[in-house]
Amino acid sequence: MNPGLKLFLILIISLEISLVPNLGANLIIIGACLIYLLFKHINLKKLFLLFIIPLFAASVVFITIYYFTPSRSLYQACVLFTRIYAYVFLGAAFTETTSFLALARSLEQNFKLPSKFAYGTLAAFNVIPKIHAEVNRIRLVGDMRHYHLSFYSPALYFKAILAAISWSNSLADGMISHGYREDKERSVIVPIALTKKDWLIFSSIIVLLQPILFLLK
């Protein structure tokens, strides 16, 4: 499925389940996403983490609704518990099967996102590993000077921001030297197709979701 259209599909489904409290729909969405991820051969460790990481937040929400609200509704507590997992699995169904590069190209080619946003976001995404390495280097230098920089230390983030500012200038110079011009039309090296099949899948899922949301209880 087209990456950009898949993103909009995930956003629409997330918005609908946030507005309509339906336990059955949440469970069906979680099950459908789980089947899809298994079909795409997701790593079992990642799949295990998808169940474990949201458990604390979901449990807190469940306990709060069931024990500390006047209605003490078990149904509403279960709805909010499963909604968190629905969000997590919807996000995983997108992120684990879609590359960020393909998404940026799709948004630019198929949905008319300005190239400066597409390339700027792509550049920022690709520089994340470098930022992580720079933060580790800053902490290591601090330890060598007997000055520990914890993850919440303002000095750590101030130094990282200074490094990022320096990289931004180098990145801009690099893009210009490679021929990037904001106001010029760019050629397409890797075309991302938006086909009738993509629209059919998108429309079918949206149509099938409506009776599940509004009729299934």
Q: Is the pTM of this model over 0.85?
A: no
* Phi, psi values for residue 178, rounded to 5°: -95, 10
Q: What share of the chain is helix, strand, coil (3-state, %, to 5)?
A: 75, 0, 25
Which H/E stretch holds residue 7?
helix 3-19
| Cβ proximity of 35 and 89 under 8 Å | no
Confidence at residue 209, expressed as pLDDT on a 0 to 100 scale: 93
Question: Coil, strand or helix: which one is 157?
Answer: helix
Query: Among 34-43, 111-120, 202-211, whose mean pLDDT is lowest?
Result: 111-120
157-159-161 Cα angle (round to 5): 65
* Phi, psi values for residue 185, rounded to 5°: -70, 135
Confidence at residue 77, expressed as pLDDT on a 0 to 100 scale: 94
Mean pLDDT score of the chain: 87
Confidence at residue 217, expressed as pLDDT on a 0 to 100 scale: 67
pLDDT in tens, 56-76: 999 999 999 999 888 888 999
The predicted model gives 200-214 an average pLDDT of: 93
Query: Among 45-54, 62-71, 135-144, whose mean pLDDT is lowest?
Result: 135-144
* Phi, psi values for residue 46, rounded to 5°: -65, -40
The closest of 20, 30, 76, 11 to 211, measured between CA atoms, is 20
Which H/E stretch holds residue 79?
helix 74-95
Query: Among 92-106, 116-130, 134-148, whose mean pLDDT is lowest?
Result: 116-130
State the helix-helix crossing angle for 74-95 and 55-67, rounded to 10 degrees. 160
pLDDT in tens, 155-197: 887 887 888 777 777 777 777 776 666 666 777 788 899 999 9
